[in-house]
Structure 1
Amino acid sequence: MALPVLFGANIDPVWRDVDGPLQLAVQAERDGLDLVTIQDHPYQAAFHDMWTLMSFLAAGTQRVVFVPAVANLPLRPPAMLAKAAASFDVLSAGRLRLGLGAGAFWEAIEAMGGPRRGRKEAVDALSEAIEVIRALWSGQRSARAGGAHYRVAGIHPGPAPSASLGIWLGAYGPRMLDLTGARADGWLPSLAYLGVDRLGEASARIDEAAHRAGRDPAVIRKVYNLNGLITPVSEGPFYGPVRQWVDQITDLVGAYGMNGFVYWPDRDHRRQLSLFAQEVVPAVRRVLPA
């Protein structure tokens, strides 16, 4: 059975606009969006800490689900990441999905005290981190998991999160896509890094990896981060009128099995997110099968 298509808004974790992030989260919830994503780049001077901001926004909303896009593994040890995610999940009544990435911007990560990793090492570390996080969410009396990069042994897990808390990977390369299909609950790519011309091949690779692992690909949440603008005149993909956005999104659902879309406006965030929620999303929902 196909998953329902979800829609969301990205909110930049900026601190100079003190009330801005909360206002946008409240707007997203009021307009009926399902998700709010928050970037995790703590080395950016202009950004709040992701976990602190998400906790604050969750306290000011009631329904919308929060997703790190994506949690920065090299700066967040997986045992602590699992603890933070489970706590957030329990305190917010299941309003979290753990977006997780292997890392990027290595110079900035290293400057903040994190490790610098090559591609293979980063994927290996992420794979171990998934084992550790699952172990800490297991509800078992004690947990043992990990490998060369991360390891827990004899730790007592808790709290146990809800069944809705899953791991969504920000994945692009072949090994990351295979890992997503084999072991993740969701996929969180971005248009800026994976264009529509390559989306189908990547989605198919995830499905193939899921089949090899004995999983049903239909249970994997596939959320596409869409940067662009809703404008009167078309100037390219995801840069045009409402009708163009509706057609493009419905095409991605039908052609590539995408089942979630989060809007990252290039500018004019409040108005653009309102147009997306109030005009694009209802029109897409009317077109898609119930």
Structure 2
Amino acid sequence: MSARKPLFGIGLEYAVAAAPQTLRTAVQADEQGLDLVSISDHNYLADHLDAYATIAMALGGTSTISGLVNVTSLPSRPAPMLARTVTSLSALSGGRIVLGLGAGGRLNELARLGVPRLTPAAAVRALAEGITLIRALSGGSEPVTFDGEFFQVTALDPAPVPAPPIWTGSVGPRSLAVTGRLADGWLPGHAADWLSPRYRTSRPIIDEAAAAADRDPADIATIYNFPGRITSAPLAGTRDDDGRWIGGSVAQWVEELTGAILDHGAAGFILFPSGDTPRDIALGRWAQEIVPAVREATTKETS
């Protein structure tokens, strides 16, 4: 049973052509009481919006919701500059930023940007260095000198802003162990959920690494990217033959997510609407019907 207040978010469209809709979605999500807006980071694709430019615009047009790049591709955004970006966004927004961070899942694509081509093992070592350096450059008072394998800074003053929560998109065993040692949260890859084989084999690696680092594994939140349809009538089955969630009625969503929180310790969900329901309608059902009901049900059980 989870005592953590669950978070609820919405995934933003990332196509350049959808830019006006993306900003409208962020405003609607904020007005309807969600916790997060999220956008993916594919800065090697010209038809995709830059993730941090989009999050900055979204935060500038909202008042309470937080922004998350899901997840930042560290190889293309070096840790010292990324630290400056997220602490600046935190200062500008009143702390409404979460740092989603990944080792870089498409290394061949990233090489097209002129980014040095790292081996998967090296990318994971860079991820660990990046988390360590970003924290060192946030909220301190003494100049930072860091001479790592991938990142180096010399007598660099940290920003007078604390580091935001850091959630990783770790997939392989080595990066999962980095999450356990260093991160605040985990976004399982490939939209895996609490019933998936990926979760069952991956979360123990995080927990074991956390315990070995004298951390409480329960302090590392699991937040799910969760696609699905919100239908007007119940579906006969809410999961496909492979066990993946496909959606259902409001009541079916409420039952599923309440169980995920109370029985599996889920810390949050970011909806990626599927199907042909217009995005603003799907978002309205999510924010105004499903989320309040799940919050109420889980608050009753944990109070």
TM-score range, shorter chain: over 0.9
Report the Cα offset of residue 14 of structure 1: 2.4
Post-superposition Cα deviations, 1:215-270, rounded to whole Å, max 9, x if no partner, equal: 12232222111012112324522422222222222222233321111001124322
Deviates more, 1:144-153 or 1:195-204: 195-204
Unmatched tracts of structure 1, length 5 or more: none
Report the Cα offset of residue 207 of structure 1: 2.4
Corresponding residue of 2:27: 26
Alpha-carbon separation, structure 2, partners of 1:49 and 1:80: 16
Unmatched tracts of structure 2, length 5 or more: 240-244
Residues 209 and 49 of structure 1: CA distance in aligned 2, closer, same or farther (over 3 Å):
same
Alpha-carbon separation, structure 2, partners of 1:96 and 1:254: 26
Alpha-carbon separation, structure 2, partners of 1:157 and 1:197: 40
Post-superposition Cα deviations, 1:135-186, rounded to whole Å, max 9, x if no partner, equal: 111423211225211222221222x2246x1211111222222111111111
Q: Is the 8 A contact 1:3 1:218 kept in 2?
A: no
Corresponding residue of 1:252: 260
Deviates more, 1:130-139 or 1:234-243: 234-243
Report the Cα offset of residue 190 of structure 1: 4.1
Structure 1 vs Structure 2 CA RMSD = 1.9
Report the Cα offset of residue 191 of structure 1: 5.0
SS in 2 for 1:16: helix
Corresponding residue of 1:264: 272
Corresponding residue of 1:282: 292
Alpha-carbon separation, structure 2, partners of 1:92 and 1:138: 16
Deviates more, 1:259-268 or 1:190-199: 190-199
Q: Is the 8 A contact 1:238 1:248 kept in 2?
A: no
Mapping of residues 1-290 of structure 1, within 5 Å: 2-158=3-159, 160-162=160-162, 165-190=164-189, 192=191, 196-198=195-197, 199-231=199-231, 232=233, 233=235, 234-236=237-239, 237-267=245-275, 268-288=278-298, 289-290=302-303
Alpha-carbon separation, structure 1, partners of 2:189 and 2:283: 17
Alpha-carbon separation, structure 1, partners of 2:286 and 2:259: 17
Q: Is the 8 A contact 1:170 1:187 kept in 2?
A: yes
Alpha-carbon separation, structure 2, partners of 1:116 and 1:228: 35
Report the Cα offset of residue 21 of structure 1: 1.2
Report the Cα offset of residue 194 of structure 1: 6.1
Corresponding residue of 2:242: none
Report the Cα offset of residue 15 of structure 1: 2.2
Report the Cα offset of residue 195 of structure 1: 7.0
Report the Cα offset of residue 67 of structure 1: 0.8
Q: Report the residue type matching 1:278 in the other structure.
A: Q
Q: Report the residue type matching 2:293 in the other structure.
A: A
Report the Cα offset of residue 39 of structure 1: 1.0
Aligned residues: 288
Q: Is the 8 A contact 1:180 1:206 kept in 2?
A: yes
Q: Report the residue type matching 1:245 in the other structure.
A: W
Q: Report the residue type matching 1:281 in the other structure.
A: V
SS in 2 for 1:141: coil
Residues 63 and 220 of structure 1: CA distance in aligned 2, closer, same or farther (over 3 Å):
same
Percentage of identical aligned residues: 38
Superposition TM-score, scaled by structure 1 size: 0.92
Superposition TM-score, scaled by structure 2 size: 0.88
